Structure 1
Amino acid sequence: MLRPITLQTKIWDLLEDYPQLEETLLEISPAFAKLKNPVLRRTIARVTTVKQAALIAGVEAGNVVILLRKAAGLDGGGESGSTATEKGDMTIEERGKYCGDRPHWYSPDRVKQSFDASAILNSGDVPMSQIIKAAQELSPGEIYEFTTPFLPTPILDILLRKGFLVWSEMGQSGDTYSNRVTRL
């Protein structure tokens, strides 16, 4: 049975189930030409999701999913009947988990360290270990702040599971998120 095409689908799985979509990816962005390299295809494609690949290619991930679904002859709608919001490819419910009113624990003067993760993410690397390490070094009440070009749900989920409090806020331009982490 063919797997559904979602933001979380691994590129390797996508091309295993739908080999014809390699051409569609190349039409979407020349950055996907790296998939022609057999070494990169066997290594990077196995761990890279459609969402991550779209970020690396500099294209809107939600649009990539829709185009891939159409090319595969599948329904082009959003996952599980929900539609992605215009910015960040997150459903409103997913974004609401982290973005809301300013929490009582946040104060700019409590920010111990700030980090702009955008350059690292845009180069294709993932600064997850740096972010977790910095958060673990916080004293109670201190805040670690990091900026990303999208809402980094996986890292925020990990931080929550580790007992941290998190809060994200979309920048005024709509193309960045300021993510705050603390422990009480």
Structure 2
Amino acid sequence: MLINANTRLSVILKERPDALEAIVSISPKFQKLRNPILRKIMASRTTIQMAASIGNCRVEDFYLQLSAFGFQSVNNDNTNEPAESRPLYMQSIGNYEIIDFDVRPILEQGNDPLKSIMNKIIEIQSTQVLRIINSFRPTPLMQLLSDKGFESYAERIADDVFHIYFHQAEKANAPIFKEYEESVESWDKVWDEFQNNLVEIDVRNLEMPGPMEAILSALQTLEKGKALYVYHKRVPLYLLPELAEMSFRVSINKLSESDIRLLIYK
């Protein structure tokens, strides 16, 4: 099978599931791929080039590891980021007005920048590109806005600095989220059903994207008939679409602005 920098990890693993350990061995940051739930989400949205950026390694490292599994690479002589892996608008980025938004101060204060990002996105014109400056690659956000008609591209500037570019690829309605109350079950009803069958997890002290990863990891071993009871400090708006896609249901109890309880179940 031919692969290149744009080949998604899910395609590779579908062809050769036994290549998982070879990929994990490339960088310690790929250990998460051993978690089936995280792997399902991450691998389907991550190309070799993206993974190389996340793992602080080279595209060629993937080619070398995967060659033992019968994969043949194209553009193998170019270990840098290939221009064709960038969206068309990124190849002519100088023609656009770049609107910068640094969300790191918001995160450092323990707040969720999602609503602020949405407000910025709404204002973006076809001649503009929104550049989010973040401390990690916000894959769920990128997928969320992709569903709303926005192209995205992430560049790793340093170990803890990412620039994520968003451009409206097609005419789309403003990506306003419905209030979460509209998409979750009644707390009292769900609590009565599961209060004696709970698995508890506290993610309040984890830095993003740690809470999402911890929750998805816990759901991997959640037994049938039980609910995951999560102590959180914010409503995880990024995570709700992912949970719905995996057929999980969610109930939310907002005790205060910084004290949120979740019940996640099937």
Q: TM-score, normalised by structure 1?
A: 0.49
Q: Give the alignment's TM-score, normalised by structure 2.
A: 0.37
Q: Going by fraction, where is helix more abundant, 1 or 2?
A: 1
Question: Which is higher, the Rg of structure 1 or of structure 2?
Answer: 2
Structure with bigger strand share is: 2
**Higher RCO structure, 1 or 2 (CA under 8 Å, sep 6+):** 1
